[in-house]
Chain A
């Protein structure tokens, strides 16, 4: 998670208007889910990977490695769909007798699950494009523009900011415990862990009080209003986003009609 954050900050697409990237990712995601077609899913996958790597400068291996993250989850899900039961052995490519019937893989089941697999991967790639090209702060700006309640956006911002402080604190405490042999042996490990958890809670509470005081000192009146840096947005990029999705829609319509023939 932390390393995605680093790539987002070093992406060449960082300075693009976040709303634009959000629109691009969400629209393409929608089209990918709606089209429900292997060719479209693969195109989306290639498109998102291409934009992220070529335009954003994120190394392609990083993108591919990220795609393997949901893989185990996906494979298990897809396998359960591919396997079906029937009375006749002839319905299957490979089958095993199971409780008086046959359980196995049929051609249509395999095709179905492959399509589902690619659809899910295509959809995930859209989200990876967004998270690898848009730092969280930028994304929050986009949400603010979309009139998401400021309470939610502010909470997201504070949580994001203080995750790092919390991690650092947790790391320091763990190290200090480890130095005093806190993690040698199972029982001492559990004891140290519980001490760590309570210490973190107390630190976080104190930190929140200090934060409130310091915000108050700068005139906090209940809202975290800030200035956003102006971001570059151009009609050309909006056009790119629309045209690409139009093409995808047309292609999927064509594929759908040719399939039904």
Chain B
């Protein structure tokens, strides 16, 4: 389970206008896990993600997929892009066709699979993402959440091993956020995917993610399980992030209101357990 499927080693990337977006990023994505990359705006998350499937070629350093350095030849990139799929933040930039069905089929057709297999995969991807009923609707009549699902289906149809999502929950309502995250977890289980997400939505990290990297100004400044990361609250605040709300509450209870709780909690269920223990302890 702990084998690394995607690794970056001392990755540097400079844009044509001289902006240094990545300044030596080293990280590893473990197979079958959900990895979160947290960071403020302009921390380099999107640049890092575009490096994962060879859209950006690093200025120095390297990326390893399944232990092998990326091959930037035409053939190598083609293989890589069907193994590492990216879902972009704005579905309107990703959906190029007015037909839901045609858009989902695009990636699969590029893989040059036999038509029958391609159709099977498109249908499967629509089933998995709950978009089958949308296939006769034009893209411009879909809601934002529906477009997002179609964008995910278009990548899932390629059956990637790693699914990279740039801000999958941005712009969704609370219900939409939990639906998309549950959908991703289900797909992950069914397809054995490794998932990487970038997000500002700190509260979903302890709920859905196994491992977290914190980025700031093109560097990884902190990493660990959500629990480990959220224990270092000063560090988080120094890079324009915050604790999950529950974590913040527990901190206030402990430090300002003299509650005698030593354990840290960042989700509702953890906090509940601690508070129950505390109640039983004080009685």
Contact = CB atoms under 8 A, between A and B. Distances in A.
Interface residues of B, number: 42
A224 B96 contact: yes
Interface string B114-156: 0100110010000000000001111111000000000000110
Contact of A227 (B53, B105, B139): B105
Contact of B55 (A14, A213, A228): A213
B98 interface: yes
Contacts of A210: 88, 90, 93
Most buried by A among B88, B96, B106, B118: B96
A229 B135 contact: yes
A218 interface: yes
A218 B97 contact: no
B81 A136 contact: no
Most buried by B among A157, A164, A226: A226
Which label, helix, strand, loop or mixed, suits the secondary structure of the B interface?
Answer: helix
B140 to A, nearest CB: 4
Given A214-B86, A219-B81, A157 B97 contact: yes
Interface in A2-31: 5, 9, 14
B138 A137 contact: yes
A218 B102 contact: no
A214 B92 contact: no
Interface residues of A, number: 30
Interface in B95-112: 95-99, 101-103, 105-111
Contacts of B94: 211, 214
B82 interface: yes
Which label, helix, strand, loop or mixed, suits the secondary structure of the A interface?
Answer: helix
B97 A137 contact: yes
Interface of A: 5, 9, 14, 135-137, 157-158, 160-161, 164-165, 207, 210-211, 213-221, 224-229
Interface of B: 50, 53, 55, 78, 81-82, 85-86, 88, 90, 92-99, 101-103, 105-111, 115, 118-119, 122, 135-141, 154-155, 158
Among all A-B residue pairs, the 10 with the closest Cβ atoms: A219-B110, A164-B140, A227-B105, A218-B107, A210-B93, A226-B102, A214-B94, A137-B99, A225-B109, A217-B86
